[in-house]
Amino acid sequence: MIRRLTIFGVGLIGGSLALALRQAGTCQEVVGCSRSEGHLRQAVELGVIDRYSLDPAEAVAGADMVVLAVPLGAMGGVCESIRDHLDPEAAITDVGSAKGSVVDAVREGFGEMPHGFVPGHPIAGTERSGVAAAFPTLFQGRRVILTPLETTDIGALAKVRTMWEETGAVVESMSVAHHDEVLAATSHLPHLLAFGLVDSLARMGERDEIFRYAAGGFRDFTRIASSDPVMWRDICLSNREAILSVIARYQDDLNMITRAISQGDGDRLLEIFQRAKAARDRFCE
């Protein structure tokens, strides 16, 4: 049981976590904190949080679980604002998509790495954002990756793991570096491709006609381009090395497809498409 959960950034992820824990009956009180009082008032009206504070120090008072669900660029500032006010026994975790930058921001914000800090990342979400988009079943059957550090307290790790399991998530662990490499390929690159394609088409001369005749495949492929641009800007900058590496590999593969089309090499194209179809069919199964 979590006595008091404090969430910084009550949006889709933070709000869905609060709703899931309420539904599971494993959290007594949820406190929200952000820079927008209107946003927090809406969270109270929707029943996502019990109360809120605009003062980070006040928000973490008495909390035994703190979740950082703010943009990556804001992590360090939040940590600095609560470092002298956090209960020494409290567990603290985050939901950031680039763990290396989060670890650096937390260390810098606190002046040292808190023993209660457990880096985490729920592999869940939608293209919608904000607390109104939150729903309690977002994490059911989805993976949550924890990347504990050498300094991470075992008790805090167990507490954070249990919290996510209570939402219906499947919890796994891996190193910070491995997480960032995997997510660069499976999440960050697809978002970049979707954003890039939509922007490219939007800057073409007859863009109204292009989008008018866009079919379901275009909508499916570009759905994630409706995601929060600020969040994805921060992710790209925070995980730049891993992202640049996977972009370079993808550019090589795209050049291979370009050459096959240019040379009229249907066999090569068929080989690539069949391999891709088989891989995706296995994934969907």
Q: What is the pLDDT of residue 213?
A: 75
Alpha helices (H) along 83-139: 99-110
Query: Do residues 229 and 164 share a domain?
Result: no
Q: What is the pLDDT of residue 121?
A: 97
Q: What is the pLDDT of residue 110?
A: 97
Other CB atoms within 10 A of residue 101 CB: 22
Query: Do residues 80 and 103 share a domain?
Result: yes
Query: Do residues 208 and 227 share a domain?
Result: yes
Q: What is the pLDDT of residue 206?
A: 64
8 A C-beta contact, residue 145 and residue 121: yes
In CATH, what number is assigned to the domain containing residue 142?
3.40.50.720
Query: Do residues 15 and 78 share a domain?
Result: yes
Query: Do residues 168 and 182 share a domain?
Result: no
Query: Do residues 169 and 190 share a domain?
Result: no
Contacts with 20 (C-beta within 8 Å, 6 or more apart), sequence order: 136, 137, 138, 139, 140, 166, 167, 168
DSSP run (H or E) holding 267 = helix 266-284
In CATH, what number is assigned to the domain containing residue 215?
1.10.3660.10
Which residue among 153, 174, 195 closes a domain? Answer: 174
Q: How many domains does the chain have?
A: 2
Alpha-carbon distance of 122 to 117, in angstroms, equals 16
What's the whole-model pTM score? 0.88
Which residue among 148, 174, 200 closes a domain? Answer: 174
**CA gyration radius, the chain:** 21
Q: What is the pLDDT of residue 188?
A: 96
Query: Do residues 58 and 98 share a domain?
Result: yes
Query: Do residues 79 and 134 share a domain?
Result: yes
Q: What is the pLDDT of residue 215?
A: 74
Query: Do residues 136 and 251 share a domain?
Result: no
pLDDT digits (tens), the chain, 285 positions: 899 999 999 999 999 999 999 999 999 999 999 988 999 999 999 999 999 999 999 999 999 999 999 999 999 999 999 999 999 999 999 999 999 999 999 999 999 999 999 999 999 988 888 999 999 999 999 999 999 999 999 999 999 999 999 999 999 999 999 999 999 999 999 999 999 999 998 888 666 677 777 777 888 889 899 988 988 999 999 999 999 999 999 999 999 999 999 999 999 999 999 999 999 999 887
**Domain limits at 167?**
2-174
Query: Do residues 204 and 275 share a domain?
Result: yes
Which residue among 126, 157, 174 closes a domain? Answer: 174
Query: Do residues 126 and 267 share a domain?
Result: no
